[in-house]
Structure 1
Amino acid sequence: MKSDDQARREAKPAPTENVRLVVSDMDGTLLTPKKQVTPATLAAIGQLREAGVPVCLVSSRPPPGISMYFEALGLKTPYAGLNGAIVFDAEGRTVSSLALPQDALRDALDMLNVHGVDAWLFCGSDWIVGDVTGAYVQHEQAAIRVEPIVASEGFDPWLDKVGKLAGSSSDYDLLARLEGEIGALLEGRAHVARSSPYYLDITPEQATKGYALKQLAGMFGIAPHEVACLGDMRNDIAMFEVAGLSIAMGNATDEVASYAHVRTASNEDEGWARAIETYVLPRVAGAKGSSS
């Protein structure tokens, strides 16, 4: 009997033969485990630029945690933060902004609190925490270079403008279980997916990376089936399902990878650059090495 992963992979439509846009996740994908960009990745972005293929970033990060890499990457393209809850054009102007319904937000906060999971709110570029000494606060601050706002009297002042609620915990199994339980509780009201083993992201129902990919492609007049995307976590599955070419990183789980067309090396082994060279550039008309 076929496994669910095998059946899913075999049922997936064939990948596109024409790529005009690349949409990429950041952590675990474009960035190394030390949150760095390698020379090989920069060279691959340069090859795409020469071939006329834009690269857009879509991440669970808040906007400042994405734009901080633009200069190093040489990018000035539209991008999406908070898993698609906020989308910007190339000039940094907000194109789309979504907020969690307050009833869904309160239900999720109650669930996280019952299980002792630290809750964070993301409202545009603001990051609000209840406890600045939480286990992953310092880690997140180093990654996104945003100073958290401490909600010493509770989250109520922000509840009408939350683009993402994140639960953070060192109990990976607990977060995996809560992904299913909170997902069932909020079905039809919010999208629930882990963005790392230690982060559980809860966003507006429409705010997924699949939604973001469609928004970004639309700004260029490009259809989703002409987009290649790269990712590594469960929150990337939504864009794997709509892109014409979906590429899972080698560090992705087998389940996540089963939603993608192909799998590359890990983010510790130049997986992003290898994917561009092996799978994307041969599908770009006029690119060096293209079969078109």
Structure 2
Amino acid sequence: MKDATKHPIRFLLSDMDGTLLLPDHSLSQRTIDAVRALREAGVLLSLATGRPPKAMLQVIEALGVDVPTAAFNGGTLVNPDGSLLVAHFLPASAALSTLSLFVDLPDIEIWVFSGGDWLLKDPHGPMVPREQHGLGYPPVVVDSFEPYLERIDKIVAASNNTQLLIELEAQLLAQVEGQAQVSRSQPVYLDVTAMQANKGEALATLAEHLGVPLEQTAAIGDGGNDPAMFAVAGFSIAMGQAEEAVRRQADVVTGANTEDGAAQAIERYILPR
């Protein structure tokens, strides 16, 4: 645990789903007001998410985010004008290993994100409506992922069988060690991205870009991909509904997203500084 009171916070990097957003992917008025107060206090806010860049635009606009943001768990950093600051693709060998492991598994839907598109083979999978609602745009149906192997941003195994995803995470980590990041961004999503595509690297890059020392940064999140930024930030906050393994890696724990936990954290821990 780092010192929670030593430094004022000048930059907050926040997860989106399960953190700023309610379960229906909307923003509460309290969260909007808290972010406005943060900006008025001169604290910079950015977003780090497993989502593609274009699935962030509505939230960026609603919150008035005017600094670069991190998509695909930090694999793609995007400037406010939409241009790329950084892009890291999954190595083709790691992509092949991942797809080979996931193929034909029961209860698993395989999604590939490439060039801004959400690619899948089966548009009728039970998890598809949830993802389409969250992203705000439909998938592209393909016969094969092979043409996209050189420019894959992220591969996702989606399933309501959370225990299977835990087992797959451990198995895949051993197979792609040193080649790719493997983490459950939510209990029902197992994300596979480039090694450099993690929220810790994203926070460090964004802080340097913005001229903010790491000890004056904070991070807040709820998923298995968020402790990477907890480890880098000067101060870290876990959401109340996060798994215990995530909560114990943060400096403090706030309320759940259904309780406006992100707004609580801003009001209690960030603004008073």
Same fold (TM over 0.5): yes
**1:78 equivalent in alignment to 2:68:** yes
**1:63 equivalent in alignment to 2:45:** no
- Name structure 2 gaps, 5 residues minimum: none
Deviation at 1:224, TM superposition (A): 2.1
**133, 139, 143: which one aligns with 2:124:** 133
Amino acid of the residue matched to residue 138 of structure 1? P
In structure 2, the residue matched to 1:19 is: 9
- Name structure 1 gaps, 5 residues minimum: 1-11, 284-292
SS in 2 for 1:52: coil
- The separation in 1 between residues aligned to 2:140 and 2:268, in whole angstroms, is 43
In structure 1, the residue matched to 2:95 is: 105
In structure 2, the residue matched to 1:290 is: none
- The separation in 2 between residues aligned to 1:272 and 1:260, in whole angstroms, is 14
Residue correspondences, number: 271
**1:49 equivalent in alignment to 2:43:** no
Contact 2:2 2:235 in 1 (8 A): no
In structure 1, the residue matched to 2:160 is: 170
* Cα deviation code 1:243-281 (max 9, x no counterpart): 001000001111101110000000000101100011111
For normalisation by structure 1, the TM-score amounts to: 0.90
**1:144 equivalent in alignment to 2:115:** no
* Cα deviation code 1:167-193 (max 9, x no counterpart): 111111000111111111111010000
Amino acid of the residue matched to residue 104 of structure 1? A
- The separation in 2 between residues aligned to 1:122 and 1:20, in whole angstroms, is 32
SS in 1 for 2:218: strand
In structure 2, the residue matched to 1:260 is: 250
In structure 2, the residue matched to 1:37 is: 27
- The separation in 1 between residues aligned to 2:116 and 2:215, in whole angstroms, is 31
SS in 2 for 1:70: helix
Contact 2:69 2:77 in 1 (8 A): yes
Deviation at 1:146, TM superposition (A): 2.0
* Cα deviation code 1:87-107 (max 9, x no counterpart): 012222101001111111111
Contact 1:63 1:124 in 2 (8 A): no
